[in-house]
Structure 1
Amino acid sequence: MGHGHGHGHAHGAGTDRRLLTAALALLVVFMAVEVVVGVVANSIALISDAGHMLTDAASIALALFAMRLAARPASGAYTFGWKRAEILSAAANGLTFVLLVAYFVYEAVQRLIEPPKVAAPLVVGTALTGIAVNAVASWLISRADRTSLNVEGAFQHILNDMYAFIATVVAGVVVWVTGWGRADAVAALVVAALMAKAAYGLLREAGRVLFEAAPSGAPPAEVGAAICDHPDVTGVEDLHVWTVTSGFPALSAHVSVRPGGDCHRVRRELADLLHERFQIEHTTLQVDHVPGTACRIAGARP
């Protein structure tokens, strides 16, 4: 028997798409300018920012595509629809961070060994403009539904790019004032560290969903104990708690009820309990009469 309370954030999907599209257009225009200036200025920090911005644009484009897939209704063999597309998009964003970290660390180390001449005024001016552009893009995406791991992945790309521009401004000023060219490479290493942190967070959360781990707010042992606390429940078996996509936790379980208990009433009460206490919005409970007085929890799965 199933119980649903509604899920997702479909009512805001159109708004989210408009906000992400506006941020995408802003980034693409500035990225083209930054690539040219980075080559002219011979700045690895500025070029790394441009490369990061390219992934920003790609992450938003991928997020928009995933949103369209996730909005498709369930049909045929896809009984949950295409909702996991958003999680795959978030994982892809995390993987692009990993690739960029490897590239920028390699380039930065090379430039620490042999620092090139950097046109500091161009670097500082472009990076200051980049801070403003990314601040606007971050504000646009922050207004979207960031409980979606897909949107959060795009937001982390933009936010890290803004940090990168701040580091580039500092490096440009140091080179400008002191002539120490290695500051440019040091800034690129700082950017790489920030990107590595963001990659870890995105890949960890996406991995939890893809491997069907229980939501962080619904530990299986605690969920099972809450079900067992019902006075008519005598046992819980085959308990599974997982996340279909961002904001869509689900649960299935076999629940035993004392002889004479009202299975239909118990199912409704348990479904309401799981929704209110653990925010589990999609429950499938098989409820049967089984003799017994002491509640037991068997076969709990994460």
Structure 2
Amino acid sequence: MAHDHGAGGHSHDHTAGANARMLGWALALTSTYLVAEVIGGFVFNSLALLSDAAHMLTDVAALVIALIAIRIGQRPPDDKRTFGYRRFEILAAAFNAVLLFGIAIYVFVEAIQRFTDPEPVQSWGMLIVAAIGLVVNLISMRLLTAGKDGSFNVKGAYLEVWADMIGSVGVIVGALAIKFTGWTWIDPIVAVAIGLWVLPRTWLLLRDTTNVLLEGVPSGLRLVEVRAAVSAVPGVAGLNDLHVWSMSNDDVSCTMHVTLAAGADANTVRKAVAGLIDERFGIEHATIQTEGPGEACEESGQLHS
């Protein structure tokens, strides 16, 4: 089966270009609001606003890194990076997750200090700034929705913005509660609640990106199922050295060593196996080595469907 990289490359370039445009718009909106929220946090003395601003800062960092990652990821393979640079997007997503963990720790420490030493909070100012932030986050989320399922990188940025949207809602609720009750300790409670809401989703992103970096089996695939399906192909007598991994979340690769049944044709078996794993498991890039029964590996072929 002939090698075919052209169509996939053009598709990736088109998708990356669309993601870059959406990320650019989201970055412009988020950066503008970040400045306003930081000023509002200090002017109105609200930890909840500053907590939300801290998450907004990670949004800006995430969006900048995501844009850079897309640009670098579009570079073609060369003599030094034979797989290209697409994994840079995974590194960017992992960095964003670690950054969110760091921000959460800061907010928790600051909240503890606020519990022991409460400070006055200007609730109306909190409310106005948070309401503006909610609108900005909703627009940014809408921009990033289309690309979040096709890229860990965009998904990381989407989760950052999504977390801030939840944060804005929390700040609005907190501001109203403080306004009508006068209980300023609600402010650090909202800040902690925002952190606790975000952390589980951040952990999932970090887990998925780490799995890619460790070249683990991609999410949604089970190696035992791939092994059973390939072993059932006519002409396959044995299977070993099976590896399935991904360079990014939409580029699954596979290598395997197939022992042929007596009388089986190597080319026919390789084509059948490559077609099966592409159609059933979405594995587009497969390197399949074959050997006759009781022989050392005598023939190998790299098949790309």
TM-score under structure 2 normalisation? 0.92
**CA deviation map 1:244-285 (0-9, x unaligned):** 111011100111111221111111111110011111111000
Give the percent of matched residue pairs that are identical in Structure 1 and Structure 2. Answer: 37
CA distance in 1: counterparts of 2:76 and 2:161, whole angstroms: 30
For the pair 1:108 / 2:96, whether they are aligned, the reply is: no
Q: Secondary structure at the match of 2:119?
A: coil
Matched AA of 1:283: A
2:260 maps to which residue? 257
Distance 2:99 2:130 in 1: 22
Q: Which residue of 1 aligns with 2:167?
A: 164
Partners of 1:198 and 1:111 in 2: CA distance: 26
1:203-242 superposed matches below 5 A: 203-242=206-245
What's the secondary structure of 1:204's corresponding residue? helix
Aligned partner of 2:269 in structure 1 is: 266
Instruction: Give the drift of 1:157.
Output: 0.2
Q: Secondary structure at the match of 1:81?
A: coil
Contact 1:4 1:282 in 2 (8 A): no
Which among 72, 75, 79 is matched to residue 76 of structure 1? Answer: 79
Q: Would you say how many aligned residue pairs link Structure 1 and Structure 2? A: 292
How do residues 275-286 of structure 1 correspond to structure 2 at under 5 angstroms? Answer: 275-286=278-289
Structure 2 CA distance, aligned partners of 1:205 and 1:216? 8
Gaps of 5+ in 1: 293-302
Shift of residue 231, structure 1, vs aligned partner: 1.9
Q: Secondary structure at the match of 2:118?
A: coil
2:303 match? none
Q: Secondary structure at the match of 1:147?
A: coil
Residues 1-302 of structure 1 correspond to what in structure 2 (within 5 A)?
6=8, 9-290=12-293
Q: Secondary structure at the match of 2:150?
A: coil
Deviation of the 1:196 alpha carbon: 1.0
Tell me how far apart the structure 2 counterparts of residues 234 and 281 of structure 1 sit (CA, whole Å). 23
Query: How far, CA to CA, are the matches of 1:179 and 1:155 in structure 2?
Result: 35
Q: Structure 2: which amino acid aligns with 1:251?
A: C
**Could you tell me whether the CA contact under 8 Å between 1:19 and 1:143 is conserved in 2?**
no
Shift of 1:32: 0.7
Post-superposition shift, 1:76? 0.4
How far apart in 2 are the matches of 1:219 and 1:2? 27
Q: Deviations over 1:121-164 (max 9, x none)?
A: 00011101110010001111112353210100000000000000
- Contact 1:232–1:258 (CA under 8 A) maintained in structure 2: yes
CA distance in 1, matches of 2:105, 2:118: 19
Could you report, residue by residue, the CA deviation over 1:40-59 in whole angstroms, capped at 9, with x for unpaired residues? Answer: 10000001111111110110
Query: Matched residues in 1 for 2:232 and 2:147: separation?
Result: 39
Check conservation: 1:94, 1:198, Cα contact below 8 A.
Answer: no
Structure scoring higher RCO (CA < 8 A, sep ≥ 6) equals: 1
Distance 1:4 1:259 in 2: 31
Secondary structure of residue in 2 paired with 1:80: coil
Structure 2 distance, partners of 1:12, 1:208, is 23
* 1-structure distance, mates of 2:4, 2:230: 17
Aligned partners of 1:148 and 1:116: how far apart in 2? 42
2 CA distance for matches of 1:204 and 1:175?
37
Separation in 2, partners of 1:254, 1:89: 34
- Structure 1 residue 3, shift from structure 2 partner: 6.1
Give ranges in structure 2 of 5+ residues lacking alignment. Answer: 296-305
CA deviation after TM superposition for structure 1 residue 165, in Å: 0.6
